[in-house]
Amino acid sequence: MFNGQSHLASVADFRLAAQRALPRMVYDFIDGGGGQETTIANNRAALDDKRLICSGPYDVDNRDQRVTLFGKTYTTPVIIGPTGLAGLAWPWAEALLSRVAGDIGIPYVMSMASTCSQEEVIAENGQTNWAQLYLMRDRTLSDRVVDKAEALGFEALEVTVDNPAIGVRLRDVRNGFSVPMKWTPRKMFSLAAHPGWSLRMARSGPPTLKLLSDILGDRRTDTLAEMFQDQIDSSITWDDIAKLRDRWKKPLIVKGLLDARHVAKALELGVDGVVISNHGGRQLDGAVATIDVLPDFVREARGRLTILIDSGFRTGSDVARALALGADAVQLGRAPLYALAAGGEPALRHCLNCIREELDMAQGMMGAAHIGDFRSDMVFGYPPSPATPGKPSDVARIAR
C-alpha cells in the first residue's frame, strides 16, 4: 500500500494529486493536448461508449494476467509508454519508471526526449526496457540512438511516426512553457506555491534532455529543445522504416498509426508490432479515438502483428475494453506521470497496482480468467471475435 496517500485509489485521484503538486505550467504540459483538446475528449468518450457485458456464472477462481509479447512473458498487459521530459514530474523519473517496470515485470519504453541517459535507465533494470525513437533529419544521430540501444540491451524499438508536424498545445503557449524555462514573475510565484516540487528540482537541478545532449555532443546549442524540434524529420516514409528494419534486428514497433491500411505495409517490411496511437491527443486536434479503429487493425493483421494501443487509457476497465476488441496490450502515457508527480516511486507502484487490481476485477466480472479469454462480444453491440488458434471459442467460454 502507498503509505503517504493511501486514499488515492485510481488514476483520476493521482491526476488530481498531480495537479495540486505541480506548478501549473508543468501540470499543463503533461495533462494538455493539441488545439481545443477535442482528441482527448474523443478518446474518453469512445472508451466510455464501449459498454462491457458481464453475465456470469463463470469459473474465474484462478485469474491470471500474464501476456506474451515478442516471445517474452510479462505479468500484466500494461506497458509504461514513452514520455519526454518526465523528469519535470519527479527527479530521476525515467530511471524510476524503468526500475518499477522491471520490478513489476512489464515493459518500459524510454523516450528519446528523456531526462536520464540510456545507461542510467539500463542500470535500473536490465530486462524490460524498450527504446523509443524519433527519426532525425541527420540520420546519423538517430542511428546513434539505435546502435547504443542495441549495445546496451534494450529489447525492442518503438519508432514514432505521428509527429511530421508538432501539435500546437495551447496551454503551453498560454503558459509560456519552454525548456530550459524562461522565468517570469508569474512562474516564480507558481514555484513558491509548490514548495515540494521546487525543492526537489532545486536539489536535483533542472531536468535537461540528457539522452539527446549525449547524442548531439558538440552540436549542442543553448536551447536543446529547439534543436531537437528542428532536427525531427518531417519527411518520414515507409522506406525509412525499411532501413530501420535492416539496422535493428530485435522487435521493431511502429508507434502512431490510426489507419489500418498501413498494416499490410508493416507486415511486408517485417515490422513486429504497432502502437495504435493519437499521441494521447497531443498532436492533431479532432483525431479519431484509437479504440474505434482497433477492430480494423485486428481484422487486417489476423494475428500476424502484435497490436498495442494507447491514448486515454486510465482504468483496468479501459484495458479490458482494448483486450476484448483484440489488442495485445495497452500503453500508458500520462498515468505513470501523474503518479510520480503525486508521490514519486511509491505512488507509481501503487498506481500501477490499482490498474492491475481493476483489471483483475474486470476479468472476474467478465469471465476472462486468462487474458486470452477476452473476446469482442464482451463489448455490447460487437460481433464475436474471429476464431484464433489457442483462444477458446465464445461458445466454450460461456459453457464453462
Ligand X SMILES: Cc1cc2nc3c(=O)[nH]c(=O)nc-3n(C[C@H](O)[C@H](O)[C@H](O)COP(=O)(O)O)c2cc1C
The least distance separating ligand X from the CB of residue 185, rounded to whole angstroms, comes to 26
Residue 273 phi, psi (nearest 5): -155, 165
Of 61, 49, 69, residue with least CA distance to 363: 61
* Cis-peptide into 185, omega within 30 deg: no
Q: Is 255 in the site for ligand X (CB under 6 A)?
A: yes
Q: What character string, x for contact with ligand X (CB under 6 A) and - otherwise, covers 132-171?
A: x---------------------------x-----------
Instruction: Give me the residue label for grid cell 508538432.
Output: 166
Q: How far is the CB of 284 from ligand X (least distance, A)?
A: 13
Window 16 to 35, contacts with ligand X (CB under 6 A):
30
User: Whole-number minimum distance, CB 375 to ligand X, in Å?
Assistant: 24
Contact by Cβ (8 Å): 335, 355: yes
Q: Under rule CB under 6 A, which residues in 328-357 are in contact with ligand X? A: 332-334
CB of 313 to ligand X, least distance (A): 6
> Which of 81, 316, 343, 367: binder of ligand X (CB under 6 A)?
81
- Number of residues in contact with ligand X under rule CB under 6 A: 21
Place of cell 477476452: 374
* Beta carbons of 321 and 50 less than 8 angstroms apart: yes
Binding mask 199-238 for ligand X (x = CB under 6 A): ----------------------------------------
Taking contact as CB under 6 A, which single stretch among the options 63-71, 176-184, 238-246, 308-316 is the one that binds ligand X? 308-316
- Position among 15, 169, 279, 350 found at the interface with ligand X (CB under 6 A): 279
**Degrees, nearest 5: CA angle 278-280-281:** 70
CB–CB of 182/264 below 8 Å? no
**Distance from C-alpha of 375 to C-alpha of 369, rounded to nearest angstrom:** 12
C-alpha cell at 69: 509479447
Binding mask 86-115 for ligand X (x = CB under 6 A): -------------------------x-x--
- Between CA 86 and CA 111 the distance in angstroms is 9
Q: How far is the CB of 256 from ligand X (least distance, A)?
A: 7
For the chain, the residue count is 400
* Piece of the chain touching ligand X by CB under 6 A; list 168-176, 198-206, 241-249, 277-285: 277-285
Residues 117-136 contacting ligand X, CB under 6 A: 132
CB 281, min distance to ligand X, A? 7
3-state secondary structure of 231: helix
Q: How many CB atoms lie within 10 A of CB 257?
A: 22
Contact between 312 and ligand X (CB under 6 A)?
yes
Rounded least distance, CB 333 to ligand X, Å: 2
318 binds ligand X (CB under 6 A): no
Between 30 and 362, CB nearer to ligand X: 30
The answer to whether residues 132 and 110 touch, using CB atoms and an 8 Å cutoff, is yes
* Smallest separation (angstroms) from ligand X to the CB of 155: 17
State the Cα–Cα distance between residues 293 and 99, nearest whole angstrom. Answer: 33
Of 142 and 385, which has the nearer Cβ to ligand X? 142
How far apart CA 313 and CA 49 sit, in angstroms, is: 13
CA angle 193, 41, 306 (to 5 degrees): 105
Catalytic residues: 279
Residue type, 295: P
- CB nearer ligand X, residue 15 or residue 375: 15
Name the segment binding ligand X (CB under 6 A); options: 61-69, 79-87, 217-225, 340-348.
79-87
Q: Which of 37, 285, 310, 328 binds ligand X (CB under 6 A)?
A: 310
Distance, first Cα to last Cα, the chain: 35
Q: Which residues of 10-49 are buried (b: 16+ CB within 10 A; e: fewer)?
A: bbebbbebbbebbbbbbbbbbbbbbbebbbbebbbebbee
C-alpha distances in angstroms, 47 versus 52, 77, 95, 102?
A: 10, 17, 31, 29
**Near ligand X by CB under 6 A, which window of 66-74, 200-208, 221-229, 273-281?**
273-281
Candidates 50-58, 179-187, 216-224, 274-282: pick the segment binding ligand X (CB under 6 A): 274-282
For ligand X, which residue has the nearest CB? 333
Measured at the CA of 370, the angle between CA 364 and CA 375, to 5 degrees, comes to: 85
Binding residues vs ligand X (CB under 6 A):
30, 81-84, 111, 113, 132, 160, 255, 277, 279-280, 282, 310-313, 332-334
